[in-house]
Structure 1
């Protein structure tokens, strides 16, 4: 076992996630161990507690607790041929800078407690070491759609900054219970992770400005189609990227997303529809210097296709009026 180390983040490690920093510095230490050490407060950044997805800046000091020596940890299982084939089947676009995947519902983006099958592990199918793609954003486990991974450290830095800002345009499709009133508008306010002895640490709740942990969240929405007053197809555009933001906001309007067991409303669920989460990252519009934006669209998962068909919604409909309402 090594002793405690206090290591400085270098310039070429700017904006890298804490877990990816560990992967570079200590490749024999699995993600699950990093996450566990962070939860216990043994990994610290500039003296403060840190999360695996926190991004580091040059000059920061990372406290690294005693770690097992190489050879003492169980080696991570190599990717099977079936998993590699599956990973490549998710690709919907790629160029020199990035790979776009159509993430299916139910597949976690990163590993954790009891999660061994996830996108981050599947990225071994595209290369190892410096050739291995890098995650630059996340989708909830049960949300499907466009997920971007960067091919180089430089592109990872550029894309991560775009996802943190508002120049990159994200469009989601959702099937919601009832019909929002008005049919186009915005939901905004502050949200934070639930706290308390009996709180679900994965749940977000409303918060007041200035409250500890409170983050501002803004979502624009527009109803594309509706089935009576029971269900509606809503196009969502998050202007911020908070945890569970779209799910929290639609439940707050009284029109929770179909299949969401965490954020609910009083509108009854129609019979005969899938109970899987109906939230799909449909499209990304990525700015490119000196060029037109790169537009990437992901086909819907099977359960949403079936729901669209059952409700008579046309996914090929001209949504110009929706785009106008969202801008």
Structure 2
């Protein structure tokens, strides 16, 4: 499995992470994004030592899409600061079961991570260990299907970055993500594995060296249920 490089210079590397690939090595020992990119840098620059590569932000293992990594500590500090000061734009595309109550809106919840089962849940505001989670959404289109009823394509903009945030908040809002076998009851009951319909579509941030705003895009694979919306033709 390979990761498509969208942009690279001496400061950053922007890549399209394939679904099902972990960002870092884990107990499964499956091929991971960091190892692939470190090997890429070694081979490209003919290095004798392991290069620096900073994972500034992450994507859940099942989720594909655009990701930026820092090739220097200075670039890492710059990008991390932008994230903490909400100057780092992350937008996702997702397909949910159902339809939101309004064409655009905001979900504002408090989430608590359940470490033992690698999940999160919505809890009351003052719950110990909880953190505020905020996302904004825009409904793009809704299609009726025979098997799943209404499916809706939505754009999601994150204002915070919490564990499983989009998956938890949309499920709690009554519009769980298609294919999500952790937070969508329809797919929890299915014995066979399904690919979650969540894709990191857009990144925008100030380049650590030039300070100019740069924007990168990635598009979901042409497969069900993405292909019933004709995303590239109708939306972008």
Residue 139 of structure 2: aligned partner: 223
Q: Distance in 2 between matches of 1:99 and 1:130?
A: 16
Residue 120 of structure 2: aligned partner: 204
Query: Structure 1 residue 134: deviation in Å?
Result: 1.8
Shift in CA distance, 314/121, structure 1 to aligned 2, threshold 3 Å: closer
On the 8 A contact 1:217/1:245 being kept in 2, the answer is yes
| Greater relative CO (CA pairs within 8 A, separation 6+) | 2
TM-score calculated relative to the size of structure 2: 0.84
Shift in CA distance, 204/111, structure 1 to aligned 2, threshold 3 Å: same
Q: Distance in 1 between matches of 2:55 and 2:6?
A: 16
1:177 equivalent to 2:91? Answer no
On the 8 A contact 1:192/1:205 being kept in 2, the answer is yes
Residue 313 of structure 1: aligned partner: 230
Q: Deviations over 1:285-318 (max 9, x none)?
A: 1124875410000132343xx4233x24333334
On the 8 A contact 2:122/2:172 being kept in 1, the answer is no
Q: Distance in 2 between matches of 1:153 and 1:294?
A: 19
Query: Structure 1 residue 183: deviation in Å?
Result: 1.9
1:278 equivalent to 2:197? Answer yes
Q: CA RMSD in A?
A: 2.5
Query: Structure 1 residue 130: deviation in Å?
Result: 6.4
Residue 51 of structure 1: aligned partner: none
TM-score calculated relative to the size of structure 1: 0.62
Higher strand share: 2
Candidates 24, 37, 42, aligned match of 1:110: 24
**Unaligned 5+ residue runs, structure 1?**
1-82, 320-327
Alignment of 1:199-278 (within 5 A): 200=117, 202-228=118-144, 230-265=150-185, 275-278=194-197
Q: Deviations over 1:185-218 (max 9, x none)?
A: 00011101126xxx62x01011222322101000
Q: Distance in 2 between matches of 1:308 and 1:211?
A: 37
Q: Which has the larger radius of gyration?
A: 1
Alignment of 1:4-15 (within 5 A): none
1:287 equivalent to 2:202? Answer no
Q: Deviations over 1:226-254 (max 9, x none)?
A: 10361010100010000100001110111
**Unaligned 5+ residue runs, structure 2?**
none
On the 8 A contact 2:137/2:157 being kept in 1, the answer is yes
Q: Distance in 2 between matches of 1:218 and 1:141?
A: 22
SS at match of 1:316: helix
Query: Structure 1 residue 97: deviation in Å?
Result: 1.6
Residue 5 of structure 2: aligned partner: 91
Residue 35 of structure 1: aligned partner: none
On the 8 A contact 2:153/2:229 being kept in 1, the answer is no
SS at match of 2:92: strand
